[in-house]
Amino acid sequence: MRLRVALATAALLTLTVAVPAAAAESNDPVPDRGLLLTVSGSENTWIRGVALFCPPAPDAHHPHAAAACAAIDWAKGDLDALPGSPRLCIEGYDPVTATATGNRDGRPVSWQRTFPNACVMDAVTGPVFRF
């Protein structure tokens, strides 16, 4: 039993040392890992999130991935400059917070904004947070 544990430990140590060495030898840039998008209710009473990769894969988890990627491309990656989907919204106050973290075109993204309600968020951000 001890021999099996020792062999398993040695194998794991070999893998931990070998993987970083191989990665260090590669000159490839860090791949774009996409964005983790979340929307949460007032005081985080609820939260939902989805990963967005651009260009979207056929099995994308974001229900409007192509439109969301197009909106982010249009804004040149600046989530404060999204084209949105302008429309009239009620004045009710039920705040939602949208966040985006991750990587876009090799650059880190860390964005957060609180909107007075979900309608205003959708009007400002369009398909990006429509999930």
In a domain, 14, yes or no: no
Q: What are the angstrom distances between the C-alpha of 96 and each of 47, 57, 60, 116, 120?
A: 9, 28, 24, 7, 9
CA–CA gap between residue 79 and residue 70 (Å, rounded): 12
pLDDT, tens only, 69-101: 999 999 999 999 999 999 999 889 999 999 999
Report the Cα 33 to chain-centroid distance in Å.
8
In a domain, 21, yes or no: no
**Comparison of pLDDT for 22 and 115, the residue scoring more:** 115
**Structural domain count, the chain:** 1
CATH of the domain at 55: 3.30.350.10
Print the domain residue range for 118: 30-129
pLDDT, tens only, 21-44: 333 343 434 446 799 999 999 888
In a domain, 16, yes or no: no
Model pTM score:
0.72
In a domain, 58, yes or no: yes
DSSP states along 18-86: HHHHHHHH--PPPPP--EEEEEEEGGGS-EEEEEE-SSPPTT-SSTTHHHHHHHHHHTTT-GGG-----
In a domain, 9, yes or no: no
pLDDT value of residue 32: 60
Sequence-ordered list of residues with C-beta below 8 angstroms from that of 98, at least 6 positions apart, any chain = 37, 38, 39, 112, 113, 114, 115, 121, 125, 129
| Cis amide prior to 58 (ω within 30 degrees) | no
In a domain, 71, yes or no: yes
In a domain, 11, yes or no: no
In a domain, 125, yes or no: yes
